[in-house]
Structure 1
Amino acid sequence: MLLDLLPRTALAGTRLPTASDLVPRPHDSARLFDHGRVFPADTHQPTPRTMSNGCRQLIVSILRTFPRMMVRAPTGLPPFVHPLGCGLHFAQGPDAGGLDDGWAAVQQFEAAPNGAGFIPLRPLAACIGVAHIFVARTANSDEFLWQTIEAEHRRIRAEFTPGETLAATQAMMLYTTMRLMVSGYEYFQANRGVLMTLNDLSRRFSELCPGPFSPAHMRLHRPTWEEWIFEETRRRIAVVCFLMTLVVGSEACLAILDPPSLLLPSSRALWEAKDRWSWEREFDAAWAEIGTVARHHQHAGPRLDTIGDLAVVKNGLSDPRFGAGRAGAAAAAASDALDSWHAGLDGLGIMLAAVLADH
């Protein structure tokens, strides 16, 4: 669940893993591709290494754009906030405004002109207002800004539906980014209120939606657009938590202790599809491409689902899914899979690629 992704103690100078720590050890191979949970229970301690300043600066430079993206809502939202999903409760019930009446919500979203169908839930609606204050802040407005954010911290604890809890989590992550921009990661050494609120939200979500917070990409049947948004939003929140943890520094964080199991975000084309028809077309095309690669290379098609998968391919390690023992075919299949993943990158993918390249 999300609780396992969040830093429990922020420490200055924490030594953090780099790309080599993201490659699974041989004895981890059996559990690396088991997506029944976010992280395996039997985590191992990675070899500590220091994150390079260049990689840290790149990640922070992208994180810094998120508050400004909120100002441009509903266009150009941060890559973990979906313009339709942020308005759905994702609750099972006729009055919940979630999955049961998602079709009506999608129709309203698609029919509304010029973003008029963008109706975020209260936590994110408030966050948009705060983002406007943050972007236009002055020395005289700082006190009001942080008092407003602190009030949102307290109010957010009253959210109850899965959608509201996700929206509250997204808002808190954006507030964390704002504080990181102004005060630096040293701030979190003594001020853990934001992190504690994120932990509380993760516990609440696990009670509302038992099971893995970040669900596997693989499914027996194609989900509906709104079901996929619900799952992909959670996968992307998990990735942002991981990246923030790398920047802020933490101990006892499973995202650091066992990063290979972290699920990768989907392609930008899937995430930014403007309507149900466009999403279905991109979804079917993505799975068709996997089948084409499999037929071309005459073995099980390489599927990049996790950071571990990505690290295996980028580091050229042999793996049964890439035709171990058949170096030529395996290398070609891995290269095709990596090229396909790179072609679909958005901001989250770029940050993950930077982490993998940080040797």
Structure 2
Amino acid sequence: MMEPWFSAASPYPPADTFLSLPTTTPPTPTNLLSPRKMPNREAFLTSKILFSQLTSYPHMLVDGRGNLPPFIFPQCVLDGKSADACRSQAKGNHTCLPEALANCTSLLHMFFNRTAASSGFVWRSIYDYQRQLGSKTLTSDTCELVAALQVVVILILVQALDMQSIPTNDVLSLVATTRDIAQQLHVLEAYQGSSGVDEEDAAGLSRREWTARESVRRCFCALYMVELVFEVIIAGGNADLADRDCQGFTQLPLPAERGLWETVDDATWIRRYRDSVRCRADPTIGHLRQSSGVGVGDLEGAAELEYWCGTADDFGSLVWMSSLTEHS
């Protein structure tokens, strides 16, 4: 089995295993999810852009504009239905979300409409729900785990929006739940394989299977950005690996090309999928890290990375921008 991109040990291993992060000071329960201090002005400004984009994702689920965070794909499209028709049934918001995300949306409505008097109740409800998701990790199927991972990513970003509540909330529990769900998905979901169509299997993955795998990848990419922007360690390093470059998110594949994530009809998607590069190894976070200061011809996976840069969507561009903070 391929080594996981995160350690299954404590959420806070020794600081010296996180050599790629802008700071090596482990976060404490009182400063968890606070903005990470950046080493220079360029990294600081980049982190401000990332903060703004990441913390906009919870709003998308409740703002009535019909957009979803870039790691959540609308179920209605997979069911062969119109995304516009789905949104029109609930004042612009999707009605097709799985149970975990539907419950999360209800919690988000409570959060964005909270008052000083109701804030405590709202946060207790949020943390009770994430603990409930964590307790089901070993008994959930892959689809349920994907939805649960999407929920905890959203809840981490929600917590980052309210720093005043961090000292009184059990943020360590939320981090632990995220790691548990991610660990289980690593066991069940082959998210590190190639996105291309195998020559010996022209059909490749079904759209539903592909979307589940891509959703996991995108959630992990979101967590990669969360680690860079906020004081939290989710992936961490694996001290048992001899090669330090294989720690953290290094082996995590980058988000797929924009044409495959768009909400097009099945016929269009199948054509795009089959026209995608065959048997091309997917570039990873590690390739992005290696690309800084390296000649194009000297970089392992240079052709794959160049192709990805030309087809990445806005979320992929954000991941690329995030990698720049590691070299600042």
Deviation track 1:141-161 (CA, whole Å, cap 9, x = no partner) reads 312210210221232223622
Secondary structure in structure 2 of the residue aligned to 1:125: helix
TM-score under structure 1 length normalisation: 0.65
Q: Specify the alignment match of 1:239 in structure 2.
A: 221
Code of the aligned partner of 1:131 = L
Deviation track 1:186-208 (CA, whole Å, cap 9, x = no partner) reads 7599730101112332344456x
2:207 to 201, 225, 228: 225
Q: Do 1:70 and 1:77's aligned partners in 2 also have CA atoms closer than 8 Å?
A: yes
Q: Distance in 1 between matches of 2:282 and 2:159?
A: 33
Code of the aligned partner of 1:349 = S
| 1:269/1:126 CA distance change after superposition, 3 Å | same
Q: Specify the alignment match of 1:308 in structure 2.
A: 286
Answer with 1 or 2: which has the greater Rg: 1
Q: Specify the alignment match of 1:266 in structure 2.
A: 256
> Mind listing any 5+ residue stretches in structure 1 that lack a counterpart?
20-48, 88-104, 291-300, 323-332
Question: CA RMSD, aligned part only?
Answer: 3.9
Deviation at 1:82, TM superposition (A): 0.9
Q: Do 1:236 and 1:265's aligned partners in 2 also have CA atoms closer than 8 Å?
A: yes
Q: Distance in 2 between matches of 1:5 and 1:216?
A: 24
Code of the aligned partner of 1:140 = A
Deviation at 1:353, TM superposition (A): 2.2
Q: Distance in 1 between matches of 2:64 and 2:209?
A: 22
Deviation at 1:236, TM superposition (A): 0.8
Deviation at 1:316, TM superposition (A): 3.5
Q: Distance in 2 between matches of 1:55 and 1:184?
A: 24
Q: Distance in 1 between matches of 2:194 and 2:8?
A: 16
Query: Which has the larger helix fraction?
Result: 1
| Equivalences, count | 284
Q: Distance in 1 between matches of 2:195 and 2:104?
A: 29
| 1:187/1:212 CA distance change after superposition, 3 Å | farther
Q: Specify the alignment match of 1:174 in structure 2.
A: 154
| 1:251/1:263 CA distance change after superposition, 3 Å | closer
Q: Specify the alignment match of 2:136 in structure 1.
A: 158
| 1:150/1:310 CA distance change after superposition, 3 Å | closer
Q: Distance in 2 between matches of 1:240 and 1:54?
A: 19
Q: Distance in 1 between matches of 2:288 and 2:263?
A: 24
Q: Distance in 1 between matches of 2:185 and 2:191?
A: 8
Deviation at 1:168, TM superposition (A): 1.1
Q: Distance in 1 between matches of 2:78 and 2:313?
A: 25
Code of the aligned partner of 2:237 = L
Q: Do 1:172 and 1:194's aligned partners in 2 also have CA atoms closer than 8 Å?
A: yes
Q: Specify the alignment match of 1:193 in structure 2.
A: 173
Q: Specify the alignment match of 1:124 in structure 2.
A: 101
Q: Distance in 1 between matches of 2:132 and 2:105?
A: 16
Q: Distance in 2 between matches of 1:118 and 1:185?
A: 30
Code of the aligned partner of 1:273 = T
